[in-house]
C-alpha cells in the first residue's frame, strides 16, 4: 500500500460540486437500461478515471440512502417493541400508525455530523486503495453502484398484464386503491427470501462493495502465498487479500472519530429502552456477518471457496426444491396463491409488525425453513426468511457486482477488461505474476463459460416471480454476458493484446 497523503483524500467541500449530478439520493428504481450502461459516461479512449471527489460523492450518496432506510426501519421497530412491552400487545390500527411514522417520508435524515463522518470514512477508504490499474477505488465504486442496482431490482414492483384494456395511469390508480402496493411488498419479501425488505442487509452489501479490495496490491492471493508475504502468513494462506480488506475497514470504522457514523448505522444502545437493545445487537451482528460472507465470496480464485459457495447454493436451493419428502417445507403457507384474492383487506401483519415478521433471521443451520408466522397469526401466513438461502443469494449478488462489467454494455466491458489485462501485465513486469498475453482471449472465454454464465443463471433463479407477473429482476445479466462472450470470441482470432 502507498502511504496516504493529503492529495489522496478529497476535501469535504469539493464533494458538493457533484451534488446535482446523477439520480437523487432517494431514487431506488433501476431499469435494465441503467444497469446495462452504469457509469458508461466514465468510459473514454484513455481509460482515465473520474475525479476522486466525484467517485467519493457517488458512494456517499448511495451509502447515505441505505443508512437512512436502516434508521427508518429501526425507529419503527423500536416503537413497536416499546408498545408491546408497555401494553402487552399492539392493535392493528396502533401498529399501522407506528410502522408508518417516518417510513419513507423523508422525515428521518442523518445529521450533518454523521454525514461529515461518512464522507471522511469513504475518503479515507479511498486513500487506502493502492494505485493499481484494476483493483482500485474506481473499481470499488463501480461494484458499489452495481450492487445498489441489484438491490433496487429486488424491490421492483411487478409489471401486471393489462388484459382489460385499462390505461396504465388508471390501472396504477386502481392498483393503489385496492392495496396492490402492500401485496407487492409482501410478494417481494417472500420471493426474495426476505432480502427485499431488510435494509441492514442492503447497507451491508453496498458497504462490502466499497471496502472489498482495500489495500489490494494488484496481484492475486496465490502470488502473495508464493511470496510468503506477511499477510499470507497472518491469514494462513486463506482469502488473504479479502480478509485483510475486512480487517482494515472494520478497524477504521471502529475509530473514535466515526462514533456518530456508527450510531446512525447501528443505533445507540444507551439511548433506547432496554427491551430494544437486543435488537440493536442483532442488527450489528447481522451487518458484520453479511460483510464477512460476501467479501470472502469475492475470492473467486480459491477453488475451496468456490466449492463451498456452490455446495451452499445446492443445499439452499436445489436440495430444498427436490421432491424428497424430507426436504418439503413444514408449513401451510399458500399466501402466494391467496394474494390475488386479498383485496381491500385490513392492513397486513407484515406491515404492522415489521420487527416480528420482516427481520432477517440469523439461523445459519441446515434446518428446513419453518413458517413461524403461522404459529403467531392464524390469519396471516408468510414464510419467514431462511438465512441459508438469503446469504447464498447475497453471495451471488456481490459476485455479480464484482464482475458486473462482464454483464453490462460492451464499452464498459472493454474498459475494465483492458484495465485487468494492464494490471496483470504490470505485475508480470514487476516479477510478481505470469505472462497472460498468450492465452488471454482463451482464458477470458473460458471465464465466461465456467463462471460468468453460470453466475448469471443462478441470478435468474433468485426470487422467482409468481406466475402471471413480469418482474424486471434480475437485470439482463445472462443475455449481456452471452453477448460479451460472443463478441470476445469473434475478435479473439485477429486481435492480439499489446504489452
The candidate with the shortest Cα–Cα distance to 137, out of 263, 42, 16, is 42
Is pLDDT above 70 for 223? yes
pLDDT at 329: 38
C-alpha cell at 479: 443475455
Determine the pLDDT at residue 259. 97
- Bridge partners, residue 330, by sequence: 370
366-381 per-position pLDDT tens digit: 333 333 333 333 333 3
Q: The whole model's pTM is what?
A: 0.77
Q: What is the DSSP string of 194-244?
A: TGGG-HHHHHHHHHHHHHTTTT--SS-HHHHHHTT-HHHHHTTTSSHHHHH
Q: What is the mean pLDDT of the chain?
A: 73
For residues 140 and 288, what is the distance between their CA atoms, to the nearest angstrom?
19
Residue 438 has pLDDT above 50, yes or no: yes
Report the pLDDT averaged over residues 100-118. Answer: 78
Q: Which long-range contacts (CB under 8 A, 24 or more apart) does 10-14 make?
A: 10/52, 10/53, 10/56, 10/123, 10/126, 11/53, 12/116, 12/119, 12/120, 12/123, 14/53
CA–CA dist 297, 302 (Å, integer): 9
Q: Please return the burial class of 373, using the count of CB atoms within 10 Å of its CB with bins 0-12, 13-18 and 19+.
A: buried
Q: What is the dihedral of CA 215, 220, 224, 225, to 10 degrees?
A: 140
pLDDT bucket at 170, cuts 50 / 70 / 90: very low
Amino acid at each position: 500500500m502507498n502511504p496516504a497523503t493529503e492529495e489522496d483524500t478529497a476535501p469535504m467541500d469539493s464533494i458538493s460540486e457533484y451534488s446535482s449530478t446523477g439520480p437523487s439520493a432517494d431514487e431506488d428504481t433501476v431499469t435494465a437500461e441503467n444497469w446495462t450502461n452504469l457509469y458508461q459516461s466514465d468510459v473514454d479512449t484513455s481509460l482515465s478515471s473520474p475525479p476522486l471527489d466525484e467517485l467519493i460523492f457517488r458512494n456517499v450518496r448511495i451509502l447515505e440512502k441505505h443508512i437512512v432506510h436502516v434508521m427508518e426501519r429501526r425507529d419503527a421497530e423500536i416503537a413497536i417493541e416499546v408498545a408491546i412491552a408497555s401494553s402487552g400487545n399492539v392493535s392493528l390500527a396502533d401498529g399501522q400508525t407506528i410502522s408508518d411514522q417516518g417510513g419513507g417520508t423523508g422525515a428521518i435524515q442523518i445529521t450533518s455530523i454523521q454525514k461529515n463522518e461518512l464522507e471522511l470514512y469513504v475518503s479515507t477508504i479511498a486513500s487506502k486503495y493502492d494505485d493499481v490499474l484494476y483493483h482500485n477505488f474506481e473499481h470499488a465504486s463501480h461494484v458499489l453502484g452495481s450492487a445498489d442496482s441489484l438491490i433496487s431490482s429486488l424491490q421492483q414492483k411487478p409489471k401486471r398484464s393489462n388484459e382489460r384494456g385499462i390505461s396504465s395511469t388508471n390501472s396504477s390508480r386502481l392498483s393503489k386503491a385496492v392495496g396492490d402496493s402492500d401485496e407487492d411488498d409482501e410478494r417481494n419479501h417472500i420471493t426474495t427470501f426476505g432480502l427485499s425488505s431488510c435494509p441492514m442487509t442492503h447497507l451491508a452489501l453496498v458497504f462490502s462493495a466499497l471496502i472489498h479490495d482495500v489495500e489490494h496490491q494488484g496481484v492475486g492471493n496465490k502470488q502473495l502465498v508464493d511470496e510468503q508475504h506477511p499477510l499470507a502468513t497472518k491469514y494462513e494462506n486463506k482469502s488473504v487479500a479479502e480478509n485483510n480488506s475486512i480487517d482494515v475497514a472494520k478497524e477504521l470504522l471502529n475509530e473514535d472519530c466515526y462514533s456518530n457514523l456508527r450510531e446512525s448505522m447501528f443505533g445507540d444502545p444507551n439511548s433506547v429502552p432496554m427491551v430494544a437493545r437486543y435488537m440493536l445487537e442483532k442488527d450489528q451482528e447481522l451487518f458484520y456477518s453479511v460483510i464477512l460472507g460476501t467479501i470472502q465470496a469475492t475470492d473467486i480464485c480459491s477453488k475451496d471457496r468456490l466449492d463451498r459457495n456452490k455446495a451452499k447454493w445446492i443445499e439452499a436451493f436445489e436440495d430444498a426444491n427436490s421432491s424428497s419428502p424430507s426436504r418439503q417445507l413444514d408449513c401451510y403457507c399458500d399466501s402466494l396463491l391467496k394474494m390475488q384474492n386479498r383485496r381491500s383487506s385490513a392492513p397486513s401483519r407484515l406491515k404492522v409488525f415489521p420487527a416480528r415478521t420482516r427481520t432477517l433471521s440469523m439461523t445459519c443451520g441446515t434446518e428446513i425453513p419453518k413458517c413461524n408466522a403461522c404459529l403467531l397469526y392464524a390469519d396471516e401466513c408468510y414464510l419467514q426468511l431462511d438465512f441459508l438461502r438469503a446469504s447464498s443469494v447475497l453471495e451471488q449478488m456481490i459476485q455479480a457486482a464484482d464482475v458486473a462489467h462482464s454483464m453490462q454494455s460492451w464499452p464498459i466491458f472493454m474498459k475494465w477488461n483492458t484495465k485487468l489485462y494492464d494490471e496483470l501485465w504490470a505485475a508480470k513486469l514487476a516479477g510478481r505474476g505470469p505472462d497472460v498475453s498468450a492465452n488471454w482471449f482463451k482464458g477470458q472465454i473460458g471465464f465466461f463459460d465456467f463462471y460468468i454464465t453460470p453466475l448469471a443463471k443462478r441470478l435468474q433463479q433468485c426470487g422467482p416471480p409468481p406466475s402471471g407477473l413480469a418482474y424486471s429482476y434480475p437485470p439482463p445479466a445472462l443475455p449481456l454476458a452471452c453477448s460479451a462472450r460472443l463478441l470476445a470470441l469473434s475478435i479473439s482470432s485477429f486481435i492480439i493484446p499489446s504489452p
